[in-house]
Amino acid sequence: MGSGRLILVPTPIGNLEDITLRAVRVLREADAVVAEDTRVSGRLLQHLGIKKPMHSFHTANEHRTVDALVERMQQGHALALVSDAGTPGISDPGFLLVRACIQAEIPVECLPGPTAFVPALVMSGLPCERFLFEGFLPQKKGRRTRLEALREEPRTIVLYESPHRLLKLLGELIEVLGPERIASVSRELSKLHEETVRGTLSELQAHFTERPPKGEFVVCIGGA
């Protein structure tokens, strides 16, 4: 591909048709693909008929891998960064590498593409002109403090949550924001069992108590 640079390439969050033509071209032309999980991204590349050298870049190794990747780009390699799903850097590794590239004056591009919070926010029916993306709350230390800080937030709040913590999260949100706060829960976006449930926090809690949460979730909460 020529001159050294970093290109962040969003990949599907479920439906493989959501990869863009440009993403496919960039993956095909890159000198190597830097992936959160080389097996997951290897399957996507195989599906696209692309064979590329791959490097791994995940939360456990990102601090010690950044310098070697920067060096490669300084040697003229164009590296495509992908995560397991969606846009790298959004609740996924990416930020450290972007920052290191900027510091080293290596060009950075991010292709527009799939990410879970945008369709969830738009389909929530809550105001989406201004919003706060919180991603995952801390699992233990600091979780309550972050929740409390959201109490007076006037903008729509967007959270990511795993299926086994969804009911815990809804319970905590009821405690902190009250049972009547309007919210929405989107799951399995772009997949066969995609669903968005809207209502008060207590209605959502009742819904998912009856139907145990399965899949991946985005929670949107109306502002104060």
By beta-carbon proximity to ligand SAM, the closer residue of 91 and 104 is: 91
d(CA 117, CA 138): 18
Interface pattern 17-46 for ligand SAM (x via CB under 6 A):
------------------------------
Told to check if 190 binds ligand SAM by CB under 6 A, we report yes
By beta-carbon proximity to ligand SAM, the closer residue of 31 and 171 is: 171
Told to check if 115 binds ligand SAM by CB under 6 A, we report yes
Near ligand SAM in 67-86, by CB under 6 A:
83, 85-86
Cβ-closest residue to ligand SAM? 86
DSSP, residue by residue, 124-178: H-S--SSEEEEEEPPSSTTHHHHHHHTTT--SEEEEEE-GGGHHHHHHHHHHHH-
By beta-carbon proximity to ligand SAM, the closer residue of 4 and 14 is: 14
* Residues 6 or more apart whose Cβ sits within 8 Å of residue 222: 126, 127, 156, 181, 182, 183
Reported as half-sphere exposure (CB side, CA atoms, 13 A), residue 87 has a value of 15
Among 20, 38, 56, 162, binds ligand SAM (CB under 6 A): 162
**Dihedral sign (CA 138, 141, 147, 152):** negative
By beta-carbon proximity to ligand SAM, the closer residue of 26 and 72 is: 26
Among 45, 216, 220, 222, binds ligand SAM (CB under 6 A): 216
Told to check if 116 binds ligand SAM by CB under 6 A, we report yes
Told to check if 160 binds ligand SAM by CB under 6 A, we report yes
Whether 220 and 128 have beta carbons less than 8 Å apart is answered as no
- Supply the minimum distance, in Å, between the C-beta of residue 74 and ligand SAM: 27
Among 65, 69, 92, 126, binds ligand SAM (CB under 6 A): 92
By beta-carbon proximity to ligand SAM, the closer residue of 4 and 7 is: 7
Token pair for residue 22?
């440009």
Whether 70 and 60 have beta carbons less than 8 Å apart is answered as no
Told to check if 221 binds ligand SAM by CB under 6 A, we report no
Q: What are phi and psi of 54, to 5 degrees?
A: -125, 145
Binding site for ligand SAM (CB under 6 A): 13-14, 83, 85-87, 90-92, 115-117, 160-162, 186-191, 216-218
